[in-house]
Amino acid sequence: MAKPQAKSRLALPFFLNLFFTVFEILGGFYTGSVAILADAVHDLGDSIAIGLAWVLDLKARQKPDAAYTYGYGRYALLGGMIASLILVAGAAGVIAEALPRLLDPTPVDATGMIVFAVFGVIVNGAAALNASKGSSLNEKAVGLHLFEDVFGWIAVLLGAIAMRLWDIPVLDALLSLLFTVYILFHVFKNLRELLAVFLERSPRGFDPATVASAAVDGVDVLSVHHVHLWTVDGTNPLLTLHAVIRADATAAEIEAIRSLLHERLEAAGIRHATVELESGPNLCEVPECAPDLPDADHHHHQH
């Protein structure tokens, strides 16, 4: 989870981004440039994403309660989903505007574009340098993102200079399509990761079979079944498993096995594990147990 100070840090980028988006939309219409409009869509997506992150981040910080026993971590992901879908809609609008212009280019105000682009490079450049000085992962991510914006503006600037020097208005539509493809590529990558969390996929870097077998390796456990691994917020993995132990294990041995399993799982990066110990070899004769056995053989069949 982000540290509480991240709350106020999201406010400034939000208002800056929003101001800049409005400025860009006006600039796009003023100069007749779809490339600037495409970048405006990108920035609008950023503004919405930051605004939602800001609001939902506050929500996501709430402690677990009777209604949301796992806490509110998924609210932050919901913000990402909404922002991504808005970006897809915006990108579709830009493509609809740019495609006819590829076939029949309309002249743009290249001089106006140069002025806007210089301003864009300066404003975003200053913001990017400022954010990249941050130490948290969150700030570094925002910094990287702002540097991408700077490159976008440099592309607009170069395109505008080229259109000013030579009469190639088609360049504007080409630039806008490039931006849009870039935006969509990132959006879909993002959506894939968000959907994986919503669909309860095992978190990246954690294989249930590997985690379970590493946990019981050398421990007095006969077999493991019902291994489930998922994440609520995309960062903290949760795990449940049933371990079968000897029927004649003493209370002290059972306790030792339980705490050793928890220690191992904690060491493997599982913050929250629920371990169910069952004794006796014949407990797992019900057919439901079989699919959950984390054996390598099974694992290969699933892929």
- Find tokens 């006969």 and name the residue: 222
Short-list 213, 217, 245, 247, CA closest to 229: 213
6-198 is a CATH 1.20.1510.10 domain: yes
Strands 272-279 and 237-245: parallel
pLDDT at 136: 53
Using one digit for the tens of pLDDT, what is the confidence trace for 234-272?
778 888 888 888 888 888 888 888 888 888 888 888 888
Structural tokens at position 18: 């929003």
In which residue ranges of the chain is CATH 1.20.1510.10 found?
A: 6-198
pLDDT at 291: 46
Fold of 208-302: Alpha-Beta Plaits (3.30.70)
Using one digit for the tens of pLDDT, what is the confidence trace for 184-243?
887 888 788 888 888 888 888 787 877 887 777 777 788 888 888 888 877 788 888 888
- Measure Cα distances from 73 to 48, 231, 256 in Å: 19, 10, 33
Strands 272-279 and 223-231: unpaired
pTM: 0.63
Q: In what order do the strands lie in the sheet with 223-231?
A: 223-231, 237-245, 272-279
Using one digit for the tens of pLDDT, what is the confidence trace for 40-88?
877 777 777 777 767 776 777 778 888 888 777 777 777 778 777 877 8
In which residue ranges of the chain is CATH 3.30.70.1350 found?
A: 208-302
